[in-house]
Structure formats: structure tokens, C-alpha cells
Amino acid sequence: MTTWIFQGNPDIFDIDTYLREYGPIIRWTVRQHANEIKVNDIVFLWRAQGRENLESGIIAKGVIISRPCEMDDDVPHLWRGGSPGRELRVIIELLEIRLTRRDGMIPREYLLEELPKLKILRQPNQTNYKLPPEYACFISILWEKFRPR
């Protein structure tokens, strides 16, 4: 089983509305590692900061429930500037959503301090990031640590 970070940019797509209103079953674009993404892999969803200066970091956790395949966009109205239409996507079952610090998201600056070599922090221009096992373990522990009490 592999663990992933999939990124959403709020300048391009209304990620908060999508997670809040259209879950727990969602679709996500696959642009990297399509041949490695498998059913039952764990995925953390990352919200980029964007021009509105939203707080970036890990805001959701889910499990991949389909292999990557060509799919229509399920929410074309949430794209800013037009939907990309039919693309390679996976289906994710959301297990938990945490859109704010109060909800228990993992902020970018915390990860910068703890995992400065995390690829999404060094090369934030991709959609799909494969986590090395030691990073996956650490982020899973952080996800529990940041859980609101």
C-alpha cells in the first residue's frame, strides 16, 4: 500500500466547497504516477495557499477506491476559468475533512519545519505526490496528533 498527497489549488478549483458539499465520494485528477496509484492506497489532500492567502496544508484524508481511468468532471461549476472536462482521475472515499486549524488540518509551516525535504514543499507545481514510507508514517502520526480533542 502506498500513501499519496494530492494537491488542489484554490485559484483553479474551489477545493473547500468540493470537500465540504460533495463528499464523501469524490474524484481527483491524476497527472503523475498513474501506473502506481492503486485501490486501497491512502491519500492526503493538500490545499495550496493560492492568491487569496488561504492556509495551505493537509486538509483531508481518504482512501483510493478506483484505479486511474478517464472520467468526466463531476463538478465543472467549481473550476475557476472552466472545467478541464474528461481527464484521468481516481475516485476517493473521504475518511475525514479538516479545513481549518481548529478542525485539525496540518499546516504547511509545521511540515516545513518537520519535513523540509517533502517534495510538495520543494516542488509545489504537481498534482500527485508519492510519499516515501517514512514520510507517510510521520504524516499519519501527525494527522492523529492534530485531531481536535
What DSSP letter does each residue of 70-126 carry, written as one string?
A: EE--S-GGGBTT----SEEEEEEEEEEE--STTTT-EEHHHHHHH-TT-HHHH-TT-
Write down the pTM of the prediction.
0.96
* Predicted confidence (pLDDT) per residue in 130-146, tens digit: 999 999 999 999 999 99
What's the confidence (pLDDT) of residue 52? 79
pLDDT of residue 40: 98
Structure confidence at residue 53 (pLDDT): 79
3-state secondary structure at position 22: helix
Residue 13 carries which side chain, given as an amino acid letter? F
Residues 20-34: what's their mean pLDDT? 97
Q: What does the pLDDT read at residue 12?
A: 94
Query: In this predicted structure, what is the pLDDT of residue 2?
Result: 98
Query: Is a pLDDT exceeding 90 seen at residue 56?
Result: yes
Q: What are 70-128's pLDDT values in tens digits?
A: 999 999 999 998 888 899 999 999 999 999 999 999 999 999 999 999 999 999 999 99
CATH fold for domain 3-145: ph1033 like fold (3.10.590)
Residue 149 has pLDDT above 90, yes or no: no
